[in-house]
C-alpha cells in the first residue's frame, strides 16, 4: 500500500475527494479542512494499493494539484486493516508488477545527476577494478562492481526514452559520459603512480588472466549478459520487490572494462585498450536496449490490463 498526503486549495478539494473515491483500490480517506498553512488549503490523506497508485497520481496531476498544492507519496511497510486488504484485492493486477512512473522518473533523475559523490564512487570503483585486472583478482572486481554507480544514468536514459523526457536523457547521458571519462583519466594517473612504485607492471597486465581475461574479450555472450543484466536491473528498479545485488550484476563489464582500458593505455597496449573499450560500449548499449524494451513492455502490459479490467 501507498500513503498519499495531499494539500489542496479549498476550491479543488471536492474534485480531489471525488477522484479518490472513484479510484478502485483506495482506503482510509481523511479530509482536514483548512489544516494546511503553506500553501494554504485543505489536507487530504488516503491509502491506495500500489497497483492503483499510478492511475490516481495521474488523475491528481490532471487536476493541477502539483502546481497549486502538494502531492506526497510514502510506502506503507505494514498496514493492519481489512479495508486495506479489500482495497488491494479490488485493485487490478499485482502490486509487485506495478510501475509508479512519477516515482521512477524522480528516482532516476536523482541517481543520474552529475555530482561530486557520483564522480567519487565511479572513480573509486574504476581504481579498485584496475587493481583487480592487474592482479587477476576476482574479489577486487566484485568489489568494484559493488561500488560502481553507473546504473543510475543508464536507468535514466531508459526512462527518458519511454517517458519522452529529453532533459532527463541529456542529464543522464552527461553523467554517464563525464563520469566514465573522469574515472578513466584519474585511473590512468593512478596506474602511472602504481607503475612508478613497482606495484603495476606490463608483464602482469599481459600475463595469462583466467579470472579477468573476459573483460577485454567482447563477444556475443557479453551482449547477451548485458541484455539480461539490463532487464534484471530495470525490473528491480520498478518492482516493489527488488534484489539487493542487482547493481553488482549491472556493473559486471562496464567499470572493469573501463579500468582495463585505462591501465592498458599507460603501457601502450592498444589491443587491450581498444577491446576493453569495445566491451564497455557493447555492454552499455545492451543494458540501455534491454532496459528501454523492458520499460516499454511493462507500460504496454499494464495499460492492457487496465483496459481489460475496465471492460
Res. 272: pLDDT tops 90: yes
Instruction: Look over the chain and give the mean of its residue pLDDT values, rounded to a whole number.
Output: 87
Q: What is the pLDDT of residue 89?
A: 84
Give 251's pLDDT tier (boundaries 50, 70, 90): low
Other C-beta atoms lying within 10 Å of the C-beta of residue 264: 25
Please state, in angstroms and rounded to a whole number, the distance separating the CA atoms of residues 66 and 76.
Answer: 22
Q: What is the pLDDT of residue 77?
A: 82
- Residues forming a β-bridge with 27: 47
Look up residue 7 and give its DSSP letter.
E
Please state, in angstroms and rounded to a whole number, the distance separating the CA atoms of residues 17 and 30.
Answer: 9
Q: Are 276 and 258 in contact (CB under 8 A)?
A: yes
Res. 92: pLDDT tops 80: no
What domains can you pick out in the chain, each with its CATH number?
Answer: 2-95 (3.30.70.120), 103-302 (1.20.1080)
Q: Are 255 and 145 in contact (CB under 8 A)?
A: yes
Give 244's pLDDT tier (boundaries 50, 70, 90): very low
Which carries the bigger pLDDT value, residue 240 or residue 57?
57
pLDDT digits (tens, 9 = 90+) for 185-216: 999 999 999 999 999 999 999 999 999 988 99
- How would you classify the pairing of strands 26-37 and 70-75? unpaired
Give 248's pLDDT tier (boundaries 50, 70, 90): very low
Q: Between helices 166-196 and 116-135, what is the axis angle to 10°?
A: 50
Res. 12: pLDDT tops 60: yes
Q: What is the pLDDT of residue 193?
A: 96
**Peptide bond before residue 259 is cis, with ω within 30 degrees of 0:** no
pLDDT digits (tens, 9 = 90+) for 146-191: 888 888 899 899 999 998 889 989 999 999 999 999 999 999 999 9
Mean pLDDT on 245-274: 82
pTM above 0.75, yes or no: yes
Q: What is the pLDDT of residue 93?
A: 67
Res. 279: pLDDT tops 70: yes
Mean pLDDT on 15-27: 92
In the block, which residue shows the cell 477522484? 19
Mean pLDDT on 292-305: 83
Res. 290: pLDDT tops 70: yes
Res. 97: pLDDT tops 80: no
Please state, in angstroms and rounded to a whole number, the distance separating the CA atoms of residues 259 and 273.
Answer: 9
Backbone phi, psi, residue 165, to 5°:
-115, 90
Give 245's pLDDT tier (boundaries 50, 70, 90): very low
Q: What is the pLDDT of residue 125?
A: 94
Q: Between helices 50-62 and 13-22, what is the axis angle to 10°?
A: 150
Which carries the bigger pLDDT value, residue 296 or residue 146?
296
pLDDT cut 90: percent of the chain above it = 54
Please state, in angstroms and rounded to a whole number, the distance separating the CA atoms of residues 36 and 22.
Answer: 24
Among the residue ranges 59-63, 111-115, 168-172, 307-311, the one predicted with the least confidence is: 307-311
Amino acid at each position: 500500500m501507498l500513503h498519499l498526503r495531499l494539500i489542496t486549495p479549498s476550491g479543488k478539494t471536492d474534485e480531489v475527494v471525488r477522484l479518490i473515491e472513484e479510484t478502485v483500490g483506495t482506503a482510509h480517506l481523511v479530509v482536514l479542512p483548512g489544516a494546511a498553512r503553506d500553501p494554504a488549503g485543505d489536507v487530504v490523506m488516503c491509502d491506495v494499493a500500489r497497483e492503483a497508485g499510478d492511475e490516481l497520481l495521474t488523475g491528481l496531476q490532471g487536476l493541477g494539484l502539483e502546481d497549486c498544492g502538494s502531492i506526497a507519496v510514502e510506502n506503507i511497510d505494514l498496514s493492519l486493516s481489512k479495508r486495506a486488504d479489500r482495497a488491494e484485492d479490488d485493485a487490478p493486477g499485482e502490486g509487485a508488477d506495478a510501475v509508479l512512473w512519477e516515482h521512477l522518473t524522480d528516482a532516476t533523475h536523482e541517481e543520474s545527476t552529475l555530482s561530486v559523490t557520483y564522480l567519487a564512487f565511479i572513480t573509486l570503483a574504476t581504481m579498485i577494478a584496475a587493481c583487480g585486472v592487474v592482479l587477476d583478482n576476482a574479489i577486487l572486481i566484485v568489489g568494484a562492481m559493488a561500488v560502481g554507480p553507473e546504473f543510475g544514468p543508464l536507468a535514466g536514459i531508459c526512462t527518458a526514452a519511454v517517458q519522452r523526457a529529453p532533459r532527463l536523457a541529456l542529464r543522464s547521458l552527461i553523467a554517464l559520459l563525464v563520469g566514465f571519462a573522469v574515472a578513466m583519466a584519474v585511473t590512468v594517473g593512478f596506474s602511472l603512480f602504481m607503475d612508478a612504485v613497482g606495484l603495476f607492471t606490463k608483464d602482469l597486465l599481459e600475463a595469462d588472466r583466467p579470472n579477468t581475461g573476459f573483460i577485454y574479450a567482447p563477444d556475443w555472450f557479453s551482449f547477451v549478459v548485458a541484455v539480461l543484466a539490463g532487464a534484471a536491473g530495470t525490473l528491480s528498479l520498478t518492482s516493489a520487490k527488488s534484489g539487493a545485488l542487482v547493481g553488482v550484476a549491472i556493473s559486471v563489464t562496464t567499470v572493469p572494462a573501463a579500468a582495463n582500458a585505462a591501465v592498458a593505455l599507460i603501457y601502450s597496449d592498444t589491443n587491450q585498450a581498444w577491446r576493453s573499450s569495445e566491451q564497455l560500449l557493447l555492454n552499455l548499449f545492451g543494458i540501455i536496449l534491454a532496459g528501454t524494451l523492458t520499460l516499454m513492455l511493462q507500460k504496454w502490459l499494464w495499460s492492457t490490463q487496465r483496459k481489460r479490467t475496465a471492460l
